[in-house]
Structure 1
Amino acid sequence: MSRICDLTGKTAMKGHNVSHSNVKTKRKFHPNLQLQKFYIPEEDRWITLKVSTSAIKTINKVGISEAINRFVKKGYL
């Protein structure tokens, strides 16, 4: 399974581990993804999405239907 948010499209970022002696080695910063089930009342069904925690906060604030519409308008879906 890929580590990509289904709604926002967040993926891993590249960066460096920096030691005390300032030696830099490559690493990845992975998004905080959670497997979450959401109920869509308009369609009367459950969907399972792998979403980032920031997307979960948005869904809790505005609702799943409105959140999906926002992400579609912004071009994430």
Structure 2
Amino acid sequence: MSRKCELTGKGPMSGNNVSHAKNRTRRRFLPNLQDVTLSSDVLGRSFRFRISSAALRSVDHRGGLDAFLAKAKDADLSNEALKVKKLIAKAQATA
């Protein structure tokens, strides 16, 4: 399981630990990933994603999973999230 947000594409960054004596050693800054279940209003079912806390706030801000995926770039989404986006778009087109 990769350490990458499925909705925003946010992944690990690298940087330095800096001691009081200014000694620098390499380190990794990992995203704050959470396993969450998000429900789609259009499809009427839930989906499990591993997303960052910032992405969870963005989903709430935009008004749910359906609205977030409608505006999300395809390049940032994981394969599973891209499948859900296409299912939602197809359901909205038929309804």
Unaligned runs of 5+ in 1: none
AA in 2 matched with 1:46: S
Structure 2 residue 27 is matched with structure 1 residue 32: no
SS in 2 for 1:20: coil
What TM-score do the two structures reach when normalised by structure 2? 0.74
Cα offset, 1:72, TM superposition: 2.7
Q: What RMSD in Å do the two structures reach over aligned CA positions? A: 1.2
Percent of aligned pairs with the same residue?
A: 34
Unaligned runs of 5+ in 2: 78-95
1:1-77 aligned within 5 A: 1-62=1-62, 63-72=64-73, 75-77=75-77
Answer with 23-32 or 60-69: which moved more.
60-69
Q: How many residues align?
A: 76
The structure that is helix-richer by fraction is: 2
| CA distance in 1 between partners of 2:73 and 2:37 (Å) | 19
What TM-score do the two structures reach when normalised by structure 1? 0.90
| CA distance in 1 between partners of 2:73 and 2:15 (Å) | 29
CA offset digits 1:1-29 (Å, max 9, x no partner) = 11100000000000000111111000000
